[in-house]
Every structure is written in structure tokens, then in C-alpha cells.
Structure 1
């Protein structure tokens, strides 16, 4: 519990700034005047995620070779350096360099999960993965609110200087954590008897799930305005509602004794249902219900995927596994942002929700195919 609490605190300290500051990208670029054209806002918003996706597999292999705690320290140091470069940037080029360092040398979620896989196993590891996601969602809720208050008192770029202390504090706390442990043993078999599916297949499912989730984010504000919701506080509440559902229902959902397959299929089905409702609704009441289902779907899918990941991860390969999974999720976010912009410009503001439905249903179909193929191979092996 001491190790888990420390890792979660460190991850929150790092995620707080990473997830909170991008919202204020227009104001940050405004400090550079005409040097920063408006079209750069979307590009620089996605730049750290693109860099993290590109580097995730490399850092995963680095973690397996040199140690998971070492890689976690590396990620925290990378964020500290990236924040300082942004905070002291006196030109657009230096600011972009800071974002590049933040993305290429970051990746604290994958590094934290890889380290936890050396200390925990089975259901304990699954629960810890659910909690690191909770940490990220709390940061996603609290970060923009708290940082929005401070941006009224100071230049957004100057905030980066103070925020650099957060990953630095996380780094110092991580130094007190024990080094990687190999007591967990080799690859784990699920406690409920399920056999693992391939890591590459898990990465595909992670991509489709994250795409289904993220594609609905960029244009939620104009979508809500189209429904007649002009109160920014109410729109913000509806936007954050799924993350609140995740936080409130994490413990009871985690206690369900359903299989990983069942949780994942139910979660993706809830996502698809929510997307369909949001693409068709014209009332606030139905929108609230859809957002509640959306949050439940995110929580249930993460629970199922984390169980599936636990079945294939071991202390020896946890860096590579979580690096691949993290890269897949990051690329999904990039693709979702691009496609959402295209379909909104070419078709309709509701189209991102239909893309979410298609992606979730495709993930369900592939999950059944992957599981059927695994069962067939097992049968052939017995024969």
C-alpha cells in the first residue's frame, strides 16, 4: 500500500500539469504575438502526445533493460526539463522545444504501470492499473480548474516554472521507492482461468477504445451550444461527468466478479449506446443519461482491458507491454482529433459521436474474433 500510494501521488503530480495546461494553449501562444499563427494551436496541442506515442516503445524497451524505477525517474526528469524550457521560453522555437522534450521524455503513465507490475500481481495489479487511470482523471478534472484560477494571476508560461516543481517532487519521492522486484515471477495466468490474448491484439483494442472515447472530446462545446446549452459551467459539468462517474464507481465496479471479456464487451457496448444517444438527442435530460452511460462504459472497459493486460504482463516484459499499450492509446488520440475535425467540417457536428459508435462496435467484433482464434488454437494444440 505504501508503494502504491507513493506511485499514485507521483503520477498525479506529473499528470496535473500535463493534462491541465493544454487547455490554455491559445493564451500561451498569445504571448509570442504575431510569431505564433492561430493554426499552431491545434498542432502544438497534439505535439506532446505525438512525441510520446513515437517514443513509448523505445522507453518500454529501455525500462525492461535498465529497470522500471529508472525509467520512471527518467520520465519525471523529462517532464521537469520540458516544463522549465516552456517556462523560460523567450521565443516560439524554445517553447516548441519544451513541448518536444515533454512528449519525447515523458510517458509517466506507462512508466508507473510498468513499475507497479514489478511489485504487484494478479487482481492487485489490475486494481492498481484502475487507480492510475483514476489519478489521471482526477488530474483532468482538477487541473484545468486550478490552473485556470492561476492563469488569471500570472502569465501561463510563467506558471510552467512553478509547475516544474511537481514532477521534480515526484522524482525525489520515487527515489525512496524500492528497486524493481522479480518476486512476482513470470507471465501470470488469470485467476479466473482465462488465457491471455496477444499484446498486439490488446494494443489494437486499446486503440479502438481510446479512439471511441477521445473522438467525442474536441467538439463537445459547440455540440452542447447547438443543443441550446449556453451556460459554460453546465457544459463543463456535462463534459466532466464521465470522469466523475469513473471516480465514484471505481470501487464497486472493481468488485464485480465478471470475466475480463464480459467487462470489456459490456463497457464497449455502453460506449456505443452513449454515442448513439448523443448523436440523436435533442434534450438535456437524455444528454445527462448519455454522459452517465459514457462514464460507466469507460470505467467498465478499462476494468476489462486491465484484466486482460494483467494476464500477459510480467516483471521482465512490463516496460515493453505498457509502452506498446500507451503508444497505441496516444496514436488513437491523435487520429481521433484529426478525424473529428474532418467529419465536423465536411458533414455535421454530431458525426464524432457516430465515429465513437463505429469504433466501439469494431472493438467488440475484434475482441470476439481474437478470443475465438485463441480458443481454436488451444483446441488444435490439444488435438
Structure 2
């Protein structure tokens, strides 16, 4: 029962997803039911706090997952836009190629290369003033159209380059956002795992403490029963003294050796239902060594031997000699039958018990001989007989 309980404190979360290792605190084993209850209450509070933190982490993870879903949708739209832009770029490139072809044709036709002599020649071939004016208008329009076409060509090329740059930049920005979200989610999942470990640890600690509490209460109850049994035995012993026993070949009258004792009631008491089985089992254990506190064939004390024999015979009886005395019905020597119990008072209380065999004999676990048959009408035990009892 003297265990050390360890409250396992895990890593707690800070705003930046960092963790602080909490110190592990050792607690002495509680020494009372109220201390167990207090520890269970403390653990319940710790578990509640940890579960709240776990729920908060789960909420953060859900937020990150929603952000990621939104980003994925944006990235999909950006990809579609980039695809569309690439189609536009293809179309612009085709238009640019067409324009360049037209410019080359025009250049070949009118030699628009910046050589003014070609234009002058075109004008000199005029046949009249009206023709000159017409040719001047053609040249003017031709030059203006070519200049506009060239400028549009330049603008379109710059637009294509700008759109490509803008779309690629957006893709890079979205890729970076996705990486950050993934990193944050990983940190949150690590935090979640730590919190789950903390909750599980506290839950296990609570279960352990609850189990220890039950064992403590059971042990406490057993100790209280033991104390009560001993106190009862002392009360009984105060009213019980040794008796004089007669040789069973003569009259089985019983006389009290002191005035403080009362004669056994000569009332009808049902005989043991399996006395033969009890005595047979008992005699089969003859020779087993004496062991203080023993209750198995590896070694017996007096009451442990009686309890073991009765259990083997299918009957239940309490553990101590005093308890067995209190749990049996008082009978006289004349009423005693094999399988009943005989009790002895060597020290002022019921301190020895054996199984009555008849003929002035009993079998019990003796400190000097182990399990053996002895006489209670002569010799040592005849001086300490306290009475007989029927379970």
C-alpha cells in the first residue's frame, strides 16, 4: 500500500506552438479516505484542464484544415487562370507573328525601313498634283499604321511578360502559404499528441488511485473487523476461564474452575453435518509443520489449520481462534461430537483451537509438534480447556 503516486505532467502549449516541460511531482501515498478523495479531485481537475486544452488544439487544427481547403481552392483557380493565360499568350504570340509577317511584307512593298529616298521615289512617280497629294496621304497613313502596329506589337509583348510574371508570383505565394499551413498543422498535431498523452496519463493515474483507494478501504475494513474481533475476544475472555474436563470414559460432567465462568447451556444443538469429513481431512494433514500465521499445507498455525480444514470440507469459518470461538455455538463436553471445535485459554483470552475427535482427544497445529493429535483430559492441554463450540 505504501506506493508513490506519480502525476505525469506533459508538455503544455504556448501561442507560438512551443512546449514547456512541466516538472514531475512525486506524491506520498494517501493515508486516509479523505486524502484519497482529495487526490482524485485534484486529478479530475487536472484531467478537465488537459481535456479543455486538447479541445482547443483540436479547434486550431480544424481552423488550419479549413484554411488549407480555402487555399487549395484558390490554388486551383490560379492554376486555371495560368492555363487560360498560357492560351492567351499563345494567341498573342500568333498575332505577333502575323503582324511581323505583315510588317515584313509592307517593308518589302514600300521599303519602310527609314530610307527616305524610297518614299521620295514613290512620290516622284506621281503623274499629277492630285496623284502627288494622294500618294502623300498613302505614305502618311502607311507610316502611321506601321508605327501603331509596331507599338501594339511592343505593348502586347510587354503584357504577355507581365501576365506571366504576375501569375507565377501568385503561384509562388500560394505555394509558400501552403507550406506554412502544413508546418503549423504538423506542430498542432504534435501538440495534440502531447495533450492526448497527458490526458491518458492522468486518466491512468486516476484509475490507479481509485484502485488503491478501494484496496485501502478494503484493508481498513479488514483491520477494523480484526480490531473488533480482538476486542470481542477480549470481552469473551473476560467472562471465560478454564474448565475442568472429565475422562470421557466416565461421566461427561463439566465443572467450572472459577466463579467467574458460567456453565455451558445444556440445550439441544444440531450436530455437525459433516464431522466425519472434517476429522478425516484434519487427520490427513498430520505432520505438517507449525508456521505462525500459516494457512496452507506448507505450514499452519492453530486457527489457520481449522479454517483450511473447514474450507476443504465445504464450509466457511473465520480466521482467528477468538473469532472462531465467537462464531460457534457453546456446547458442553458431553454434547461435543467429532468435527466440533475445542478452545483453550492459556494467556487470559482464547488463544488456541483444535478439532475435537472424541475419546479425550483433539487434533490441531501445535507450536512444538506441528499438526498432531493431543489429549485434553491429561497433560498440558487439560489445564487450559476453555470450552467447546459447534460451527
What's the TM-score bracket when you normalise by the shorter of the two chains? under 0.3
Q: TM-score normalised to the size of structure 2?
A: 0.17
* Larger RCO (alpha carbons 8 Å, 6+ apart): 1
| Larger of the two Rg values belongs to structure | 2
More strand by share: 2
